[in-house]
A and B are shown apart, each in its own frame.
Chain A
Amino acid sequence: MVDALRSAHRIVHPDGCVIDLHPTSDRPTVEVGGRVVGHVASGDGPIRHAGAAIAIANAIDEGLFAVERRERFCFHTYGESHTELADHIRTTWKNGAIDAPTLQRARTALRSEPGASLRVTERVVATRLHPVLSPSP
């Protein structure tokens, strides 16, 4: 990960920037009508995402970059049904899955509140890094 940032440092213009977006290590939530009914199991996702934060911290410690700005936001993925959303997570996320009890709670909540939104929420941090040292020519 730090190697990737070193590569980025080499190719970025001194007046340019590196932008990183990655989910936080918080577990993504499954929500019905804005209420949490469970979490998405994402395998080693929290470890990988924490690793991204560590890589940035290490690159800053190495004197490659300085943080210019950080933004945090929620990334929502909406599905029409619990099965559609579960299929999407399973097929597009690395090791992502919504377990059966969470799906059951989502289905029950949707039955009691027809028309309520069904979504997965990921917390994401976005960082703008400014290159500090002059990249080697």
Chain B
Amino acid sequence: MAILEDPERYEVRALTALVPSFAGLRVVEVGCGDGRLTRRYASRAASVLAIDPDRTAIASLPRRLKNVEARAVPIEELSLPPQSADVVLFACSL
């Protein structure tokens, strides 16, 4: 057995309680790291912009998540139009 993180899926249940459906939503995930949380919801979202100032961590974000764009940038330096995201998700990054 390798390391198992949240096999009970309590994190996903909590996220689902807060955002019942990601369908059609434009998500900005802040502090995505290696995409551990990203891959749990990204396939259902319209688009995901996953950002993290750590270039090493973000380099391991799975390439197969085709609707996910990754950028190595902190949110304070993120250039996005106002009101352009439906969900801004801080993943242990505040």
Contacts and interface: CB of A to CB of B under 8 A. Distances in A.
A47 interface: no
B50 to A, nearest CB: 14
A12 B88 contact: yes
B84 A75 contact: no
A77 B92 contact: no
A18 B86 contact: no
B7 A19 contact: no
Given A69-B18, A71-B18, A75-B5, A11 B83 contact: yes
Contact of A52 (B82, B89, B94): B94
Interface string B22-56: 00010010100000010000000000000000000
Contacts of A1: 94
Contacts of A17: 18-19, 86-88
Given A19-B88, A22-B94, A23-B92, A11 B80 contact: yes
Given A11-B85, A19-B18, 8 more contacts: A4-B94, A8-B90, A12-B88, A16-B83, A18-B88, A19-B19, A78-B5, A124-B11
19 contacts: A4-B74, A4-B94, A8-B28, A11-B81, A12-B83, A12-B87, A17-B19, A17-B87, A19-B18, A19-B87, A20-B90, A21-B15, A68-B18, A72-B14, A75-B11, A76-B5, A76-B8, A126-B14, A135-B82
